[in-house]
A and B are shown apart, each in its own frame.
Chain A
Amino acid sequence: MLDFFIKPRVRGGVHPEARKENTADENIVTNFPIPKTLYIPLQQHVGKPAEPLIRVGDKVLKGQLLAYSQGLISAPVHAPSSGIILDVNDYPAPHPSALPIRMIVLETDGLDEWFTSPIPDDPFQLTPEDISLRVGAAGIVGLGGATFPTAVKLNMGRENQIDTLIINGSECEPYLSCDDRLMQERAEKIIDGVRLMLHGMESHHAVVAIEDNKPLAFAAMQIAAKPYSSIEVMQIPTQYPMGWDRQLIRYVTGKEVPVGCRSSEIGVTIHNVGTAHAVHKAIRYGQALVNRVVTVSGGAVGKPMNVEVPLGTLISEVFAFCEVNLEDTARIVMGGPMMGDSLPHAGLPTVKATSGVLALTKSELKSSEVQPCIRCAACVTVCPAGLRPLDMANNIRVNQLDAAVDLGLKDCISCGCCSYICPSNIPLVQFFKYASGEIVARQQAQHKSEQTKRLMDDRNARMERIAKQQEEDEKARIAAKAERERLKAEQASQESLA
């Protein structure tokens, strides 16, 4: 009862059934057969897509750079396995619309031969800048799902001295247990990655936050972190969305990140457990981010498991490996069931952000039979960002998008709590995603109409200039003609005189 007053109150959130038990008890499966072809999208991260530097037909090794990052916020892409580049073209993207984006198609030769790169003997002698350079070169992005390039975060961390680095082990989405297994099996590697990141950001205090429904992971991480005083491991209440970075920052440090500014500006940075593990592999062994642990679960999965999969593997192959019964799969979801995207079919590649692939049956899904909103305000109670989903949805339904923005549409993190709790099964998050998309479309239309107005004014000005020009030429011509006639008349009169 006492901690009611000590621990900062967590606002909103829901308690979905975890349904992690069928995947959280077995080890991570590492003997996934190397697929024949890998489809590697160039845009697997937040920021500009990577620019390919290889040509069709090149032979590449595992971990070799395929596309370099361009611009300030971007991340390179590496070969998940050794083989020959088949094609660089547009293929369906792992997105609800499955519209094509540019991908590199790699035909594997089965050797899985690593691309050797220099390995530092003692990484802690490296300068912090060198560490974030290596992390950036390894193509590491946030593996929690946000996929923000980690190197950029480390640089920002150095600029405004971070006093707390939070390692997000909450994994609050139901079904997913890849972070849980990673912490249980590779705790030392993760702790080593955390120390490297601390060194990379010149900060001295890290907190690993783990939800209290994962006691084994908590124990393993505590043992691994015991020798290092700068790393503290703490348990946080199990409540979706505990993994939302701003919620975690407020719970762990008590600070609230103001709207419109990054968390590093108030001295806190957050990284996922998987990211720390990838940093460890990149710095210690020079291995780029080429594979990741993916949870395959759901009612229609014969053998639910956590499997280490090379990036770019088609979901259909992962499903085949896990004996997924496609007939009673009502919906394929990439990521967790709360925030994940539904995919139209399984022929899409896994990417750096794929923390889980779910094959859900009809009974597990929320019924889509919509009833009228009875204003029960359960969505207002569960919204962690403190918005009023029912009022926003009502405004969006009658196309009052500005009113919805005033109610806080821009602060919606689409965590799915309101859609989860709504007794009338109203797709609230889809209302908000539609509205944000519509607002962006309107801004673009507004921008376009301003530009076209500028083009029109320029053209009209040019037309007037040309018209004035023609008038002057006309006048000049008439004047010249008159002049010539006058001269001829004079000549004629002089001749008549002479």
Chain B
Amino acid sequence: MYVLSAIFWLTLLGLMLGLLLGIAAKYLKVESSPILDEIESLLPGSQCGQCGFPGCRPAAEALVDGLVPATICPPGGSALAEQLAAMLGLDLDLSSVKEPELLVARVSEDTCTGCTRCFKVCPTDAIVGAPKQIHAVVADACIACKKCVEVCPTECLQMHPVEVTLRNWRWTKPMSQFDQSQQGSALC
């Protein structure tokens, strides 16, 4: 006998709670998660593919689904990784992140034949120059994607580290006591 009342009460309870939740869901409607496009706007958007995804949008989707760590985007460096980790609440280990070494393409004037192949392929129009004339790279616009170096027939386009001037000179990070004592390592 009590089996019947058990079944009856459980179904009644389930129904009543379901009804309550249905009403509550109506009042607390929330549209789709806006996080996805926010993440995508954070990524550099250069579709460079260094993260293993065909573009920034798929990388953003993978990030939101939590399939990849916050350090998947090498050009973003540790700054972007920090932002992504803060946004998604992922934990962050910055040991593997290598600061993107600032590079800039430069044309060596003596070997440039003006074949215009490089500025057709440059994604940010950083290379200027008319056909048959010597070309030049606008340093500020170059994002070091290396596409022009591959396509240049006379190898005159090479990547050079950004030259340090008084304006962009930075204090180095002091070595904390752990790195120092790591140096004088064991048994001394």
Contacts and interface: CB of A to CB of B under 8 A. Distances in A.
B10 interface: no
Contacts, number: 85
Interface string A445-466: 1101101110110110000000
Contact of A402 (B86, B140, B172, B173): B86
A371 B44 CA distance: 40
B123 A402 contact: no
Contacts of A430: 171, 174
B124 interface: yes
A442 B166 contact: no
Looking at chain B's contact residues, the main secondary structure is loop
B168 interface: yes
B80 to A, nearest CB: 9
A379 to B, nearest CB: 15
Interface string B123-151: 11110000000000000110100000000
A330 to B, nearest CB: 18
Given A442-B79, A452-B143, A456-B46, A398 B94 contact: yes
A370 interface: yes
B125 A455 contact: yes
Contacts of B140: 448, 451
A446 B79 contact: yes
Given A452-B141, A455-B141, A434 B171 contact: yes
A438 B170 contact: yes
B172 A434 contact: yes
B170 A434 contact: yes
B141 A372 contact: no
B176 interface: yes
B166 A424 contact: no
In this complex, the interface size class of chain A, counting residues with CB under 8 Å from chain B, is 35 or more
Contacts of A434: 170-174
Interface stretch (A93-101, A224-232, A358-366): A93-101
Interface string B160-188: 00001110111111111110100000000
Interface in A408-459: 424, 426-427, 430-431, 433-434, 437-438, 441-442, 445-446, 448-449, 451-453, 455-456, 458-459
A11 interface: no
Contacts of A431: 173-174
Contacts of B170: 434, 437-438, 441
A402 B82 contact: yes
A31 B153 CA distance: 66
A437 B46 contact: no
A322 to B, nearest CB: 28
A472 to B, nearest CB: 21
B141 A451 contact: yes
A399 interface: yes
Nearest to A424: B177
A437 B174 CA distance: 13
B45 interface: yes
A21 B143 CA distance: 57
Contacts of A455: 124-126, 141
A397 interface: yes
Contacts of A22: none
A397 B170 CA distance: 16
Contact of A370 (B126, B165, B176): B176
Interface string B4-48: 000000000000000000000000000000000000000011100
Nearest to B100: A445
A372 B176 CA distance: 8
Interface string A386-400: 000000000011111
A397 B141 CA distance: 32
B50 to A, nearest CB: 14
A100 B165 CA distance: 8
Interface in B32-76: 44-46
Contacts of A370: 174-177, 180
Contacts of A442: 79
A458 B122 CA distance: 13
Nearest to B43: A449
A99 B167 CA distance: 9
Given A372-B177, A424-B177, A100 B125 contact: no
Contacts of A449: 44-46, 143
A433 B141 CA distance: 28
A459 B123 contact: yes
B79 A433 contact: no
Interface in A41-63: none
Given A99-B166, A101-B166, A446-B79, A452 B46 contact: yes
A442 B99 CA distance: 11
A126 to B, nearest CB: 38
A95 B166 contact: yes
Interface in A126-172: none
Contact of B124 (A100, A424, A427, A456): A456
B48 to A, nearest CB: 11
A99 B177 CA distance: 29
Contacts of B166: 93, 95, 97, 99-101
A371 B181 CA distance: 9
A101 B166 CA distance: 7
Nearest to B168: A441
Contacts of A456: 45-46, 123-124
A373 B175 CA distance: 13
A101 B164 CA distance: 12
12 contacts: A397-B176, A398-B94, A424-B177, A434-B170, A434-B173, A442-B79, A446-B79, A452-B46, A452-B141, A456-B45, A456-B123, A459-B124
Given A402-B82, A453-B45, A456-B124, 14 more contacts: A95-B169, A97-B169, A101-B166, A370-B175, A370-B177, A372-B177, A434-B174, A438-B173, A442-B79, A448-B140, A449-B44, A452-B124, A455-B124, A455-B126
